[in-house]
Chain A
Amino acid sequence: MTGALRSSARDIARAVNARDVSAAEMAEAMIPHVAQADSALGAYLTLTPELMREHAAHVDARIAAGEKLPLAGVPVAIKDNMCLRTTRTTCGSKILEKWIAPYTGTAVARLLAAGGLPIGKTNMDEFAMGSSCENSALGVTRNPYDLDRVPGGSSGGSAAAVGGFEATISLGSDTGGSIREPAAFCNVVGFKPTYGRVSRYGLIAFASSLDQIGPFARTVEDAALAYDAIGGHDPMDATSLDRPLESTADGLRTDLRGLRIGIVKEFATDGLGAQIDACYKAAYADLEKLGAELVEVELPTAKYGLATYYLIAPAECSSNLARFDGVRYGLRVDAADVGEMYEQTRAQGFGPEVKRRILIGTYALSSGYYDAYYVKAQKARTAIADDFNRAFAKCDVIASPAASSPAFGFNAKSDPVAMYLMDYYTIPVSLAGLPSLSVPCGAVVPEGGTRPMPMGLQLASPLFTERLLLGTAHAYEQATQHAVKLSPVAGAAK
């Protein structure tokens, strides 16, 4: 059975649907494996063995009744900002450390209805604010390819779980790069669909106009399978797109003939160091070898992405996080009056990065500053989206780095702005709402490091072209096979 733990979701589902192996057997193999392996990795904040067994029994019963499920018996992990009924849902924060969700969010419910078996809830930067998982108030997650390095963030636990073979598929959320950057760090595929493709109902909001749920997987095809299961319109989310979802997992393309791939002039990699530069130049050359035509495109406003994002996202978060006030749920620090209760609860419940962003956002929305900051940022956001539209007149898919570097060591980015810069390439894509993913594209030995660390290639495509995007990544992955060239380190899961 341990072999099955390294299998793809496609193969597991095929075997479980064929009744070669039962979902219950998958669960019983996975439960002790994760309990043991995760002590080194720390991918999970909460394990849910009973729930996993319950779902396994349910899946087996459905298959016995003749159903075929696309993710039958596939062990899945869920980022801890998504509600799962009867389960602790913390957002990596002290303020929700003991909160048990009384309902299940749409994407999670769909993943489980497709046959997924929930292993547990994964660690994350508090309220999804961060790029290393170090902002979690509840635990440390380590990179499965070097335990002294971070897994990336904010969906670091979900990326590490899949990269370290502690889950076959996991769900993350991406606001400015929180799926794509940790995917790059952990040698997995991380996919952020078009904004509005996956319901946000049950996803604890960071920045509502940017947050999007997406899957992590070890193959593009598995990511596509998961996306097909969770995507589509949801009447519980007013921003969810009410347009048909085309299936992506079947018949993914294996060559890139006839495709024009845009290389962004402003995202030149020669300043990132010789090794990294060589890695991306090789990746672009591989795309060309597969039949694509490389074209240079310009995104002149992309350089304003970070500044724009760090006004819009904090503004929304300052309002979204107001509800954590100690009145109805979560941490409450008792005090003499309600005003002091709010202050003490939030002072003790939120960590420094969350507080920093609430302060920035509150300031940006304040009377007298709103036009200069929030309104201007919205205009910049439109300009950035327009730049992408112009670029897509010249190309079908844009390729770029997923992150500015491979995984870094703990405490390496103590300056918040240095941390923010990790998302330089992913943020403009998020502001434009585009579908985007990171696919493994090789490895480099970081400065001061001893082992080669995985690198990620970001691909982005026009709104609603998930099938084109996943097909491009699949062709590249099948031709290069970068992911399987690396193995997790001793101590992490085997």
Chain B
Amino acid sequence: MSIADAPAPLTPEIRAKYETVIGIECHVELKTASKMFCGCPNVFGGEPNTHVCPVCLALPGSLPVPNKKAIEHMIRAGLAFNCAIPSFSKFDRKNYFYPDMPKDYQISQYDMPLTQGGVVRYWLDDGTIRECRLTRIHLEEDTGKSTHAGSGDGRIAGSTYSLVDFNRAGVPLMECVSDPDIRSADEAVGFLDALKRTFVQLGVSDVKMEEGSLRCDANVSVRLHGAPEYGTKTEIKNMNSFRSVHRAIESEIERQIVAIESGARIVQETRGWDEAAGTTHSMRSKEQAHDYRYFPDPDLVPMEIAPAMVDAIRATLPELPIARYERYVNAHQFAVAQATQLIENVSLADYFDRAVAIAKNPAGVLNYLLGDLSRLANENGVNVADSKVTPEALAELLTLIDAKTINSRIAKDVLDRLWKDGGSPKAVVEKEGLAQVSDPSAVAGFVDEVLAANEKSVADFKAGKENALKFLVGQVMKVSRGKANPGLVESVLRERMQ
């Protein structure tokens, strides 16, 4: 390729002419005891083909029976995003041949999914709130996994045989499809974060991307700002982390703009993300798309969703991450990063809310939670929520600090004790006599003892050296074993040395 043929470099000015339009489709494995249509355990991994039975192996004559818990999870997820829950839903068969799909059709939902519409509200790192509409969430079953052997690199090209593990086949899977409301790679990741946090909070999924319990595809197109029609989209697959979603979308946006700027047309196709190369490559075009021959699964009767069931599930919905975020940022004035850090860990956020309800000192609770308690938790490899320090104990500790019964130096020791032995901070303080000494005559006693032993410092102070006072305060704290009220110590020292 000569220099003249090389595409023009993508300058920020050119890039700014274009608007990106993204829609996300993601598959999330539901957390249930058993698989979607049989009694096999729904667990990750295991020796190949050990979590299987006639049903999930699609042996001749076997029949599916739906998992009620999975259906409840779907309704719970739908309600969290204000989706409409129809009173009637059904399962359909999606027909295509694939070696890791035992029936050679997938039980899925075509025209009557369990949830329709809805909105995902989420925040970005700079604190802006965004919304993305959902098209639908539907319920289906996962496939097995193929391993290609003999080619050396695990790829199908050049392999001499393939092995299939059906442990994952039949695991309940929800597919969330968004409207094309997302405008950047950052927003795409923000949206996915919101889905992940919400599903974890609801208990409907573990959402472990590294175990494949969340997998997503992105439909990406670009157009000039103000253009009336969407550009031609491509579907990006094979992204296995939120980071690769971000990179893949960025790469695809650039590829499309460069192509359009050089006069080429975007082809509607499926493209695979290559993590190592950092680019997408063509997998198949629209013309090669399957005709899935969807039809209602005659092995499964249509579902009637009783309004009472929906109401019962609605009544058990917890506070959702976005509501929590807005509460932390608006009511407690937390920074975006702090609020996010807390919300990322549901048990920590629950712990926080319980402690704040008693201590009425959100900043103080947050400080201990993300500071000393998180440090202890990390050092000991224990979750704060599972430690011996209960939210009630932390609240009591903060109350003791706020009432100046103990100072922060003593609080640290008390916290160490609570971490080891549990119990009430008040009891520890009383038993160990750790209460702050604020009685002026008692403080004066410590002060006099220190003044008598440090004549040189007294002289320095009197000569105008303010640093000498700091040294003397330190000495008094030492003599009082940290219990003296530091403010009082300083004022008594000044008084005595006048």
Interface residues of A (CB under 8 A from B): 81-83, 89, 91, 96, 99, 101-103, 105, 200-205, 207-209, 235-239, 315-316, 318-319, 322-325, 327-329, 338, 342, 362, 365-367, 370, 374
Contacts and interface: CB of A to CB of B under 8 A. Distances in A.
A204 B60 contact: yes
Q: Which 3 A-B pairs have the closest CB atoms?
A: A322-B104, A208-B298, A365-B293
Given A83-B60, A89-B61, A370-B295, 14 more contacts: A101-B60, A200-B63, A204-B60, A204-B61, A205-B299, A207-B298, A238-B66, A239-B299, A316-B298, A322-B95, A324-B60, A329-B59, A342-B97, A366-B291
A323 B57 CA distance: 10
B62 interface: yes
A404 B58 CA distance: 37
A362 B93 CA distance: 13
A138 B60 CA distance: 18
Contacts of B102: 323, 327-328
Contact of B61 (A101, A316, A325, A362): A101
Nearest to B53: A103
B61 A366 contact: no
Nearest to A82: B61
B299 A208 contact: yes
B354 interface: no
Contacts of A315: 295
Given A83-B61, A203-B61, A367 B293 contact: yes
Counting chain A CB atoms within 10 Å of each CB, the highest count among B58, B61, B301 belongs to: B61
Given A319-B105, A370-B295, A99 B63 contact: no
B61 A323 contact: no
Given A322-B104, A342-B97, A328 B57 contact: yes
Contact of B301 (A101, A235, A238, A365): A238
B45 interface: no
B149 to A, nearest CB: 14
Contacts of B63: 200-201, 236-239
Nearest to B49: A328
A84 to B, nearest CB: 10
Given A239-B301, A338-B99, A367 B291 contact: yes
B293 A366 contact: yes
Contacts, number: 99
Contacts of B295: 315, 319, 365, 370, 374
Q: Majority SS of interface residues in chain A?
A: loop
B162 interface: yes
Nearest to B62: A201
B164 interface: yes
Contacts of A367: 291, 293
Contacts of A89: 60-61
B370 interface: no
A238 B299 contact: yes
B293 A323 contact: no
B304 to A, nearest CB: 14
A205 B63 CA distance: 9
Interface in B85-109: 93, 95, 97, 99, 102-105
Nearest to A207: B298
Interface string B259-302: 00000000000000000000000000000000101110011110
10 contacts: A101-B59, A205-B299, A238-B65, A238-B301, A239-B298, A239-B301, A323-B103, A325-B99, A327-B164, A338-B99
